[in-house]
């Protein structure tokens, strides 16, 4: 049975579920807290599941484990792209994966020009994941000016940058699909018209299990191939007016929450796929 490292900084519900499943199937598992354990570890590890909440810790932990030639879930380059929207959208566009019409602005002046070019209403997003509270709907030029001025005062330089997108038209359905090792395990959806209509801040409603739509599933596979990830959740917006576009890819999926909404024991499946991949 291969040795598996569960790399973390906080033991949340997902980490506890993964650890319990690894123990249930009898896999030798090593808990590596990045706050107290140097990386890479001395133990011979064949697979590492990267789970630190802190993005930079996750990225560096993944790189350290990847250097040991073990299976890394996810690889550092997938984590780097999935935690930075500028990188994520740039890679997806490079590989012809449809995304919302997007402009990148690196200063207040270019942000205002981007809003004018795309037209109103527009969405201003933070380039960094975890800072969604900065996302804003822009309905007029005065709002754009205020948002640009506010963001220019952020102490983190990356947060002074802007990801500007057009607001989607028409009723939307948001699909979220879990991809693991070349397979789409399950999908959920938020039914229109209640969700995804508020630009950056969609109305809250609970996802429900969804059958896998071929068009959506194709985008999930293409996104995973572009980002070179092995365990991802991909959000796809689908509208009758604009078709399907990929709006987000997460390389640190919330497995327990996804299982609750999809009705699929994804933790058990993910652990099984990890062990199968190491044995090959």
Domain of 205, CATH number, reads 3.30.470.20
Q: pLDDT per residue over 4-34, tens digit each?
A: 999 999 999 999 999 999 999 999 999 999 9
pLDDT of res. 279: 86
Residue 109 lies in a domain: yes
Greater pLDDT, 73 or 172? 73
> Which residues, in sequence order, are CB contacts of 38 under 8 Å at separation 6+?
none
Residue 274 pLDDT class (50, 70, 90 cuts): very high
pLDDT of res. 198: 45
Q: Give the residue-averaged pLDDT of 231-257.
A: 94
* Two structure tokens written together for 136: 């804003």
* Two structure tokens written together for 98: 């449809």
Where residue 129 sits, what CATH number does that domain have? 3.30.1490.20
pLDDT of res. 171: 79
- End residue of a domain, out of 128, 145, 166: 166
Q: Decide if pLDDT at 209 tops 70.
A: yes
Residue 278 lies in a domain: no
Q: pLDDT per residue over 122-173, tens digit each?
A: 999 999 998 989 999 999 999 999 999 999 999 999 999 999 998 887 778 9
> Which residues, in sequence order, are CB contacts of 144 under 8 Å at separation 6+?
111, 112, 115, 122, 124, 138
Residue 157 lies in a domain: yes
Statement to judge: residues 105 and 159 lie in one domain: yes
Residue 280 pLDDT class (50, 70, 90 cuts): confident
Residue 134 lies in a domain: yes
Residue 90 lies in a domain: no
Statement to judge: residues 187 and 125 lie in one domain: no
Residue 123 lies in a domain: yes
pLDDT of res. 200: 46
Alpha carbon of residue 55 to chain centroid:
11
Q: Decide if pLDDT at 224 tops 70.
A: yes
* pTM of the predicted protein model: 0.92
Residue 42 pLDDT class (50, 70, 90 cuts): confident
Statement to judge: residues 161 and 179 lie in one domain: no
User: How many domains in the chain?
Assistant: 3
Residue span of the structural domain in which 124 resides: 101-166
Statement to judge: residues 113 and 132 lie in one domain: yes
In the sheet that holds 172-180, the strands lie side by side as 208-210, 183-190, 172-180, 231-239, 243-250
Reference 244, options 148, 174, 195; nearest CA is 174
Reference 276, options 75, 76, 77, 73; nearest CA is 73
Residue 280 lies in a domain: no
Residue 113 lies in a domain: yes
Give me the percent of the chain exceeding a pLDDT of 70. Answer: 95
Statement to judge: residues 121 and 151 lie in one domain: yes
Burial of 135 (C-beta count, 10 Å sphere; 0-12/13-18/19+): middle
Where residue 57 sits, what CATH number does that domain have? 3.40.50.20
């Amino acid at each position: 049975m291969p040795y598996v490292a569960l790399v973390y900084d906080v033991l949340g519900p997902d980490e506890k579920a993964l650890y319990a499943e690894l123990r249930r199937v009898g896999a030798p598992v090593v808990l590596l807290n990045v706050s107290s354990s140097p990386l890479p570890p001395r133990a011979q590890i064949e697979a590492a599941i990267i789970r630190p909440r802190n993005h930079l810790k996750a990225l560096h932990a993944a790189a350290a484990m990847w250097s040991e030639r073990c299976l890394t879930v996810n690889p550092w380059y997938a984590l780097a792209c999935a935690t930075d929207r500028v990188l994520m959208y740039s890679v997806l566009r490079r590989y012809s994966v449809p995304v919302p019409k997007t402009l990148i602005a690196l200063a207040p002046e270019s942000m205002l020009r981007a809003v004018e070019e795309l037209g109103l209403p527009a969405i201003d997003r933070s380039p960094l994941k975890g800072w969604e509270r900065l996302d804003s709907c822009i309905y007029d030029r005065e709002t754009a000016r205020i948002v640009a001025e506010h963001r220019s005062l952020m102490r983190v330089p990356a947060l002074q940058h802007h990801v500007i997108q057009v607001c989607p038209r028409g009723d939307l359905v948001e699909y979220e699909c879990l991809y693991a090792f070349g397979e789409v395990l399950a999908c959920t959806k938020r039914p229109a018209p209640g969700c995804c209509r508020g630009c950056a801040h969609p109305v809250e409603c609970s996802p429900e299990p969804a059958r896998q739509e071929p068009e959506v599933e194709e985008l999930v596979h293409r996104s995973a191939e572009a980002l070179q990830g092995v365990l991802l959740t991909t959000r796809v917006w689908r509208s009758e007016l604009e078709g399907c576009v990929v709006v987000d890819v997460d390389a640190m999926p919330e497995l327990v929450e996804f299982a609750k909404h999809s009705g699929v024991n994804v933790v058990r499946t993910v652990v099984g796929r990890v062990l199968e991949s190491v044995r090959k």
